[in-house]
Amino acid sequence: MAKTATAEATSPLDTIAATFPKDVALKNGRTIQLRLMNAKDKAAILGFARSLPANDLLFLRTNITEESVVDDWIANIENRRTVTVLAVDKGAVVGYVALHYNEATWTRHVGEIRLLSGASMRGQGLGRILAFEIYGVASAIGLRKLIAQMTLDQAGARSVFEHLGFKAEALLTDFVISADGRTRDLLMMAYDLDGHSNTIVV
């Protein structure tokens, strides 16, 4: 007998979404929530961005204090070119990690991680928690390589990714210019996912 209906296949992103929200404990014993970002988080993201120290804003790839930039970010989430995990404490965003990828290019096997913790959360292990979460997302959607880009000034970010097994692959001199008009060297770090998942340490 012919089937009258076909169940829609569950995508990897749908499977990932089903694992959120979740609670995680920081080093100080404080519990916060991790959840996936969506369009309803625009105001919360803007509030988080506008609360950041001025020095943090110098190193952002895009100016997330601007509504249009956050609108583009949300559009990328809805078009499944970006997955973002938010860290939320008492209803306020206190950090995030975003995975950017594009299935239509010759680097479709590569994802870029962008990670930022609020000042009040630093030193509590939130960066490693967020990075590990997005590593799981990348594996689930079939990416083979992860990259993270930062300036040499961002020692804390480099430490987080080194702890996760990322290695420096390139140093590009005067490759970026920050909001204060200064050029800085760009460090590119990478992690090969194929066959190496057991080396990730939290």
What pLDDT sits at residue 199?
Answer: 43
- Extended strands (E) in 82-154: 82-89, 92-100, 110-117, 145-151
Work out how many domains the chain is built from and give that number: 1
Boundaries of domain holding 123: 12-199
What pLDDT sits at residue 7?
Answer: 41
CATH number of the domain enclosing 180: 3.40.630.30
What pLDDT sits at residue 185?
Answer: 92
What pLDDT sits at residue 201?
Answer: 41
Instruction: Report the distance separating Cα 26 and Cα 29, nearest Å.
Output: 5
169 inside domain = yes
Residue that has been written with the tokens 């014993």 in this structure: 29
What pLDDT sits at residue 4?
Answer: 45
138 inside domain = yes
80 inside domain = yes
* AA letter at 59: F
What pLDDT sits at residue 111?
Answer: 94
57 inside domain = yes
Mean pLDDT by 10 residues, the chain (202 residues): 49 87 93 97 96 84 94 96 96 96 84 90 89 89 92 83 89 87 91 62 40
What pLDDT sits at residue 49?
Answer: 96
Beta pairing class for 92-100 and 183-192 = unpaired
4 inside domain = no
What pLDDT sits at residue 9?
Answer: 58
1 inside domain = no
Q: Which residues contact 86 (CB under 8 A, 6 or more apart)?
A: 34, 35, 36, 37, 41, 44, 45, 93, 95, 96
30 inside domain = yes
61 inside domain = yes
